[in-house]
Each structure stands twice: as C-alpha cells, then as structure tokens.
C-alpha cells in the first residue's frame, strides 16, 4: 500500500526504487517555479505535455532509472508532483521513490474548503498556510467568507465606512452559543484590495480558485452599522459582537435591530451592485457566493418599500421577494460571465432562476435542495454532519467526513453528475486562532480530499487510517496542531456528551486542552 492521500484512481506498484540525486534536474514542459525545483536537460526526470489528458489528469511512471510525468495543463503536472512528494517523503529525509505506475484524475470538479474571517480574522500568512495544504491535498476551490454581522473584512473603495467602521467591533462573545459572556475589547481587521490580489495570485499559482462570499440580503449587520439606510428602518446600531441568536436586550434595545437589508429600495439595490462590481474586479473566478441563508423577513413584511415590490411584480410572498432579489443579482453576474452560488435556503423561492448553484449545508433534510439537483440543477455538498469542521469531534467524529456519500442525501444515482463537488466549512465563532483552527481542520481536510478526489472504489476507511498514520509525520514537520486519534475519533459516550455540553455553554476550547494532554502522554 502506497502512503498517498488522496489515493490515486489507478495505481500499480512495481518492484524496486528510483533514488533521487542531490539537486535533481527536471526536464519540464511546464513552469515549476511554484515548487522551486531546478529545471534543465535531463533523461532521468521528465514532465511532458500530453494534450489527450483532461485538465487535472496526469500519469506518473517511476522506474529504477527514470521518472516520467505526463499532463495536459499545469494542474495535472502539479498534482503529479504532489503525489511524488508523498511517495518520496523528501522533506522528511526520504530519497528513495517506490517504482509505480499511476493514472489519476479527480472524482469531483469542486474540491473546496471555506474560511470564515468575519467572526475571527486570520490574515494573509495564515490564509497562505491554508492554501499550501489545499495544494498538497489537490483541493482547488477556496471559498472566502469575507462579510457577516460581526465584521466586514474587504476594502470597498466606493464605501470606505465598511472598513472604517464595519471591520471593528467593541466586544466579542465567548464561552459558547448559550453563553452571554463577552471579552470587552475592540476586535478588527480587514484586507485591502492589494491584499486580496496577492492572495488570489498566490492561489492561482497553485491551481486554486478563490470564490468570495459577500452576504446579502441577511448577515448584513456590519454593513448596516455603517450605512443605516440599507435597512428597512434606519436605526443607529453598532457592529454586533454576539454570535448567532444569543443577543441580550442590553445590546440591541429590546431586540430592535436590523440583520437584513431592505431589498425594496433602489438605493440599496444599487449599493449591492456597486459592491459586486468592485469585488468581481478582484476575483476572476466564474462564481460569486451571495450567502442568502438565515434571512429574517419580519422587516420586509412591515416595510412599504418591500411590499410595493411584491405587489408591482406579482410576487406571492416575502420568500419570492428574496428570489426576485437573487434573480436581479444573478442577471447582473451573468453579464460578467459569473454564476451565482447561495446556501440551500435560497432554493425555497419558487421564482428563482434554475441556473443558480445551491450549497447544501443544513443538518435537516431539505426537499428544495433535493428537487433542485434531481431536476437538473447543480449543488455543492457541504452537509453539516460531514463537512462542518468547526463542530466538535465529540459530535461529528472524523468518520462522518470520510463516509459521506451524495446518495445519503437523496441525490438520485442518475443525478450524481449534477453534484459539482464537496466543500468543508470552517465557521469561526469559536475558532479564535491557529491552534484551534488546525485542530478542527486536521485530519478532516485529509478525509475531505479523499472523498473529493479518489474514485469511489478506493474510498476505504481502514486503509485510509493506515495512510493517515504515516501522514502525521507531515503534520509534525509543518507544525500543525492536528487532532490525535482520541480527539478526532472519540469512543467514550460520556466524554462526547461532556465535550458537546461544554461547547454549547462553557469551554469551546476543551478539545484543544484534551489534545495537549493526549500528546503529552504520547498519543498520535
């Protein structure tokens, strides 16, 4: 068994080894500068262009005398080198590469990872560190959640208050969903447009597409704090520091605050178009994520502007009003050559254009998502129990991620082709830095990579665990605070109950502490 994650789709082991030389020279038809490898004339190590292969497909042949890689595009060549990287373990001191013949290509087009930077801000170097691991794991979609109620993290030239005011909050909610405790310190941070360009370029060189998420019409409290006219009622409110629904009366004056923009005002619609215009100029990806989830509609029901739009357009209700709003954005994006993505709640609208891409996240069954994909629409699968990486392992153990199958969510076998792919979500209400981010992501990212890339026949839990044990040497080499087996695969039901209870109300970092304790005892 070869120690490769994700496992190649067609792999034949041979006898013998190829031994790497110091400063090995590679003859390549592709630019290898991203790897820092030495190129030139060589008959020992050859990377050749083969136009008959698909864009991310590659072949890799290792004999005792020669390594030969064939690919159609950079992506395939780069993925072959990532496979070779694990085979050789050269960073870990290895020099011998086992002889092998590999023909490999991905199962899904969309192999994604998301990072929420509204709740906690990580900065460029942390994002690059994440992109490096994505590259190693052949993940190719970075979904960047840049705005939400608790912070606006992207510079918009036309609306400077979004970062002057919207990127800062005066306090931060701690100790879990049922707590009302706070740290009463200012918290902030945002990316300049130059920062964004730098990250997008860094990702592109690693075959990673960056998809921005700018949330509308809900999760907009940070924007409304800057420009109160965006809401149905113009209330002066601060950027909130509480997460979810845990908002005490003392903060928002008897619950009187706005989370959803007014889609009945032309001025608000123009604001949204202005934002999309600037954001699209920074992200060349042919996708734009609008969010659209958890959109309260009470304000719309009372708003004369929203009700006028419903009447003028013959809409059935406020759900169709959100559909009308999303269709306007969808048409605006079409002119820019982009497709609209939204969380699966937006599929409730009966008037929504069928070209929209739904992202299926909800823990409960959603028949609207099922109908969308089974009638020809596209979905990205981010099922809560498998791909919500911020949730404790005590609730969703590692195997939940590895054993994901679209069929479990009522996608008919003939419609699997409509699944663009899978994506892991890192919501950061309770992830405040590298230590916990690492713990939540790893080894879940390795499971995600195999589910996204490997042929279904090669997805084998017991086999994966053996390869994961070998991969842990990379975690240690890269300084990654991964979850050891006793944390990522807990077996004691009382421990699991305790972790989950603390997560909701008390200690959201309990698993971090347990991980340290187990590592000190020599657990892996």
* DSSP 8-state code for residue 90: G
- Residue keyed to tokens 């706005």: 258
Residue 219: alpha-carbon gap to chain centroid: 18
pLDDT attached to residue 248: 56
pTM of the predicted structure, to 2 decimals: 0.97
* 320: annotated active-site residue: no
CA end-to-end distance (rounded Å), the chain: 21
Helix, strand and coil percent figures for the chain, each rounded to 5: 40, 20, 40
Which is catalytic among the residues 148, 215, 345, 370? 148
265 in Cβ contact with 307 (< 8 Å): no
141 in Cβ contact with 126 (< 8 Å): no
140 in Cβ contact with 208 (< 8 Å): yes
C-alpha 206/C-alpha 405 separation (Å) is 27
- Residue keyed to tokens 């800062």: 168
pLDDT attached to residue 249: 38
Work out the widest C-alpha separation in the chain, in whole angstroms: 77
C-alpha 381/C-alpha 415 separation (Å) is 13
Which is catalytic among the residues 73, 293, 294, 485? 294
Taking the CA atoms of residue 191, residue 195, residue 198 and residue 200 in that order, the dihedral angle to the nearest 10 degrees is 30
pLDDT attached to residue 49: 98
C-alpha 465/C-alpha 41 separation (Å) is 40
Which is catalytic among the residues 219, 289, 372, 509? 219
* DSSP 8-state code for residue 20: P
Phi, psi of 511 (to 5 degrees): -65, -30
pLDDT attached to residue 334: 97
pLDDT attached to residue 505: 87
C-alpha 359/C-alpha 439 separation (Å) is 25
- What residues of the chain score a pLDDT lower than 50? 249-250, 253-254
pLDDT attached to residue 250: 45
* 219: annotated active-site residue: yes
pLDDT attached to residue 256: 64
* 148: annotated active-site residue: yes
Burial class (CB in 10 A: 0-12, 13-18, 19+), 253: exposed
C-alpha 429/C-alpha 391 separation (Å) is 11
């Amino acid at each position: 068994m070869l120690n490769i994650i994700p496992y190649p789709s067609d792999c034949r082991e041979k006898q013998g080894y190829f031994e790497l030389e110091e400063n090995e020279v590679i003859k390549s038809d592709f630019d290898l500068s991203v790897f820092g490898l030495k190129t030139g004339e060589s008959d020992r190590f050859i990377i050749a262009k083969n136009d008959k292969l698909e864009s991310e497909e590659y072949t890799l042949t290792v004999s005792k005398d020669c390594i030969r890689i064939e690919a159609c595009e950079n992506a395939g060549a780069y993925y072959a080198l990532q496979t070779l990287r694990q085979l050789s373990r050269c960073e870990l001191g290895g020099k011998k590469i086992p002889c092998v013949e590999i023909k490999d290509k991905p199962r899904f087009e969309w192999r994604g990872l998301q990072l929420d930077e509204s709740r906690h801000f990580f900065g460029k170097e942390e994002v690059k560190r994440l992109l490096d691991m994505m590259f190693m794991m052949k993940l190719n979609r970075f979904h960047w959640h840049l705005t939400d109620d608790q912070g606006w993290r992207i510079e918009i030239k036309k609306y400077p208050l979004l970062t002057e005011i919207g990127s800062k909050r005066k306090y931060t909610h701690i100790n879990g969903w049922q707590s009302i405790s706070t740290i009463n310190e200012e918290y902030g941070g945002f990316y300049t447009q130059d920062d964004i360009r730098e990250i997008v370029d860094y990702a592109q060189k690693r075959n990673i597409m960056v998809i921005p998420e700018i949330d509308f019409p809900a999760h907009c409290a940070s924007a409304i704090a800057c420009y109160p006219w965006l809401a149905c009622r113009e209330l002066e409110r601060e950027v909130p520091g509480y997460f979810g629904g845990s908002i005490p009366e003392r903060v928002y004056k008897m619950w009187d605050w706005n989370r959803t923009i007014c889609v009945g005002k032309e001025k608000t619609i123009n604001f949204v178009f202005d934002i999309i215009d600037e954001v699209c100029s920074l992200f060349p990806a042919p996708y734009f994520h609008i969010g659209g989830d958890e959109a309260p509609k009470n304000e719309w029901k009372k708003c004369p502007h929203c009700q006028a739009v419903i009447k003028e357009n013959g809409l059935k209700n406020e759900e169709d009003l959100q559909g009308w709003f999303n269709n306007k954005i969808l048409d605006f994006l079409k002119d820019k050559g982009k497709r609209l993505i939204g969380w699966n709640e937006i599929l409730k609208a009966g008037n929504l254009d069928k070209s929209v891409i739904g992202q299926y996240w909800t823990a409960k069954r959603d028949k609207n998502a099922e109908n969308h994909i089974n009638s020809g629409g596209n979905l990205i699968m981010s099922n809560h129990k498998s791909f919500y990486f911020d949730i404790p392992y005590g609730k969703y153990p590692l195997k939940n991620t590895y054993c994901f199958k679209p069929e479990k969510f009522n996608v008919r076998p003939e419609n699997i082709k409509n699944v663009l792919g899978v994506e892991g979500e890192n919501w950061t209400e309770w992830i405040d830095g590298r230590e916990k981010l690492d713990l939540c992501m790893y080894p879940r990212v390795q499971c995600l990579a195999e589910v996204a890339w490997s042929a279904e026949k090669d997805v084998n839990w017991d086999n994966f665990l053996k390869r994961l044990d070998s991969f842990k040497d990379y975690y240690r080499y890269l300084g990654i605070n991964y979850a050891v087996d006793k944390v990522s695969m807990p077996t004691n039901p009382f421990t699991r109950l305790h972790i989950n209870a603390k997560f909701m109300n008390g200690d959201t970092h309990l698993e971090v502490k347990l991980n340290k304790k187990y590592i000190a005892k020599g657990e892996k």
